[in-house]
Amino acid sequence: MINESALAAVRPAIQDAEMEAVATARHRVLFITLHFPPSRDIGAHACEQIGRYFPLYGWDPVVLTRPKRLIESADPNHRRVFPGTIVEAGLLPHPLSIYRKLKHVLRGRGGSDSPGDEKLNQQQPGRLRRWVLSLLHMPDVYTGWLVPATITGLRTIRREQLTHIFSSGPYWTNHLVGLMLARLTGLPWTVHYRDPWNQVPQSKAVSALSATVERWLERRVIARADSVVCVTDTHTRLLRQIFADLPPDKFVTIPNGYDEAEWERSESLSLQAKTSNHKRFVIAYAGGFMMGTRSPRPLFRALKELIEARALDPDHVRVELYGNCDVAEGIRVTDMASEYGLNELVHVGPSLSRPETLQRVASSDLLLLLAEGWALQIPGKTYEYLRAGRPILALTSEGALADLLRRTGGAWVAEPGDDAAITRAVREAYIAWTMGHPTPVADGAIIAAFDRRRLAGRFTALFDEARAREAARRD
């Protein structure tokens, strides 16, 4: 549970800062992102939350994004409530999307596989095919947005008299659009890394040639940018080492966060975060399982061991997985649960709307966080979990996420392969639930620092600094 008194203590300071910021002079910034609601992606909500609070600090955002009709996983219930202008740029078809459509037509609609079957039937591509795929994925499958977005962005900058460019990635095409616009206009430019680009293992096909080209592209982006924002200190330090020829103060850390306003809209959330009235001990996971990097198997092993040891009553336990959670490790999650005799306990549900997701997270008894092999990154959902004030079980290696959770408290951290530690954590959380005992408490003062309203001010401070440098050069 979050320390509500500590959180409440810092709110007046946030509100005072907002009041002062409103009185500042108005400027306008172009916010480049393919990720934006109604997309369900956590990156889309992160971008909306960041831009939503720029006006508090004197910067009005103009978002450059793709048309809503081209979003693959859109929330039909989402209504855009955003203080800035939203400009849409079309998307030229990618060769891979053309190939998939032709394959679908040739195969016939009646014989098409379901999305889950397609994942299950994927085979490791041959060497030549993998090389071709690596080139088609440079830097991602949205390169068809580069030309339309650059043209639309240039027109928007001139029409709206914008004075700063801000691009957030992934997708990395966003930064290539930013690079083109920065060079064409000469405007200052801030690059935002929600994830590392070339410093982590890739889920896409990679070849020596594609890796070389992408490292070259990243260097061009970083060399031209006025500021490069990372979401973890670990990533910031690494980029300073890799680009040691560039000024170290170019690289800045501004963490991910949560939107306090979203939580304040529902009066029931704070109450649910303090106590659970479930007849079952609910373990919840919200999001998706990335192919090969996220799997609930370690949790399933722990549950089976506890059930066999009669340390846990299966009639009083439920595992709820929401989002793109139907497949992990190339097999159906329901089949994986059956391997451990947990098919009656495990529920795999569809993606939820934002309000529904927050409600489920806030009312769960243990929140599962999967980040195997993530040394530089922190999953965006971590901050939602922390704000919910529920106990967290994080399966991750040593790195940025483990460091954060040890600093905030309110979580068990275990290596994904440490079955004993995972089993012990689940047992402790379950016993606390059955006995009605309090679970570890996250530090509210630390968590309050991740409120997007505060973080937005750190971004706009970079915009202000760039504007001041530009004014000094002109003088």
Task: Tell me the DSSP string of 50-85.
Answer: HHHTGGGGTEEEEEEE--GGG-SSB-TT-----SSE
The answer to whether position 375 is within a domain reads: yes
User: What's the structural domain count of the chain?
Assistant: 2
The answer to whether position 412 is within a domain reads: yes
Is there a single domain that holds both residue 154 and residue 230? yes
Is there a single domain that holds both residue 278 and residue 237? no
Structure tokens at 47: 């971008």
> 3-state SS of 140-170?
CCCHHHHHHHHHHHHHHHHHHCCCEEEEEEC
Structure tokens at 115: 């999305």
The answer to whether position 217 is within a domain reads: yes
Structure tokens at 218: 């990243």
CA–CA separation, 157 and 163 (whole Å): 8
Confidence at residue 245, expressed as pLDDT on a 0 to 100 scale: 96
Is there a single domain that holds both residue 274 and residue 130? no
Confidence at residue 97, expressed as pLDDT on a 0 to 100 scale: 75
Helices 381-388 and 354-362, interaxial angle, to 10°? Answer: 50
Q: How many residues does the chain have?
A: 475
First vs last C-alpha separation in the chain:
53
Confidence at residue 95, expressed as pLDDT on a 0 to 100 scale: 78
Q: Strand 27-32 relative to strand 346-349: parallel, antiparallel, unpaired?
A: unpaired
CA–CA separation, 445 and 408 (whole Å): 9
Is there a single domain that holds both residue 234 and residue 333? no
Confidence at residue 136, expressed as pLDDT on a 0 to 100 scale: 83
Confidence at residue 326, expressed as pLDDT on a 0 to 100 scale: 87
Is there a single domain that holds both residue 243 and residue 339? no
Is there a single domain that holds both residue 243 and residue 299? no
Is there a single domain that holds both residue 243 and residue 384? no
Is there a single domain that holds both residue 288 and residue 408? yes
The answer to whether position 372 is within a domain reads: yes
Is there a single domain that holds both residue 251 and residue 336? no
The residues of the chain scoring below 70 in pLDDT are 1-24, 80, 99, 101, 103-125, 266-278, 290-292
DSSP, collapsed to helix, strand or coil, labels residue 443 as: coil
Residue 58 backbone zone (phi > 0: left; psi -120 to 50: alpha; other: beta): left
Alpha helices, DSSP H only, in 310-353? 333-339
Predicted TM-score (pTM) of the model is 0.84
CB 258 within 8 A of CB 293: no
Confidence at residue 21, expressed as pLDDT on a 0 to 100 scale: 47
The answer to whether position 9 is within a domain reads: no
Is there a single domain that holds both residue 430 and residue 303? yes
Confidence at residue 138, expressed as pLDDT on a 0 to 100 scale: 86
Range of the domain at 156: 18-97+105-115+123-257+451-474
The answer to whether position 7 is within a domain reads: no
The answer to whether position 11 is within a domain reads: no
Is there a single domain that holds both residue 239 and residue 273? no
Strand partners, 252: 229
CATH number for the domain harbouring residue 22: 3.40.50.2000
Who's near 117: CB < 8 A, 6+ residues apart?
A: none
Is there a single domain that holds both residue 216 and residue 287? no
Omega before residue 171 within 30° of 0, cis: yes
The answer to whether position 3 is within a domain reads: no
